């Protein structure tokens, strides 16, 4: 069983912000595979189903970003999820806009939601999918930036990044993390530098 958790903030005012990348990926996976992520479960909305005939739980913590770990740890404990089957998705200000990076473990890199997950699980040993949101110019206030809706001019690129992240999760579930890393840990289209 895989548990796929997208990090974000509940509420319509946050729905189209970069900080809700994880929620958007879970929503897309739910749409693709006919899973309803509507059942309250362990401080999250969750749905059970299959991705390419593999059992999954899709979840969106409702605790707000910086407290996400409480929901993730509760879901892991309640459903007996082996951490090898946990996939957590979040936005990453340290990665260029639109890049998707899969890592089998690692630090939070300053992301408060990821810090909460690591703190509550007591380990960095879980797979993560990070979606780059750095705009390519200096960001004066990171908190304001991640909570500002994506500009219409960038919406197509944003939708593509979310799609690629969902593709990456599907690949991880069906082909394994190493194969997915080989496929998806490349430069985003049009980028000339590695993160």
The CA distance from 145 to 165, in Å, is 21
Q: Is 19 a catalytic residue?
A: yes
The CA distance from 140 to 144, in Å, is 9
The CA distance from 23 to 129, in Å, is 12
- The one catalytic residue in 19, 112, 120, 134 is 19
The CA-atom distances, in angstroms, between 137 and each of 1, 94, 134, 195 are 40, 12, 8, 14
Of 74, 69, 76, 133, the closest CA to residue 99 belongs to: 133
Active site residues: 19
């Amino acid at each position: 069983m895989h548990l796929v958790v997208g990090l974000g903030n509940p509420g319509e005012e946050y729905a189209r912000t970069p900080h809700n990348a994880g929620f958007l990926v879970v929503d897309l996976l739910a749409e693709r595979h006919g899973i309803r992520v509507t059942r309250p479960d362990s401080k999250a909305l969750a749905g059970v189903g299959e991705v390419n005939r593999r059992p999954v739980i899709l979840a969106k913590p409702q605790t707000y970003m910086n407290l996400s770990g409480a929901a993730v740890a509760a879901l892991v404990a309640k459903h007996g999820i082996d951490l090898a089957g946990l996939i957590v998705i979040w936005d990453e200000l340290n990665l260029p806009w639109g890049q998707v990076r899969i890592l089998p473990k690692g630090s939070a890199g300053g992301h408060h939601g990821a810090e909460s997950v690591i703190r509550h699980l007591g380990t960095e040993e879980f797979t993560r999918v990070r979606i780059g949101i750095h705009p390519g110019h200096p960001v004066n206030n990171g908190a304001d930036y991640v909570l500002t809706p994506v500009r219409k001019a960038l919406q197509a690129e944003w939708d593509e990044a979310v799609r690629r992240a969902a593709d990456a999760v599907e690949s991880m579930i069906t082909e394994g993390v190493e194969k997915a890393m080989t496929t998806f840990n490349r430069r985003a289209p049009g980028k000339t530098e590695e993160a």
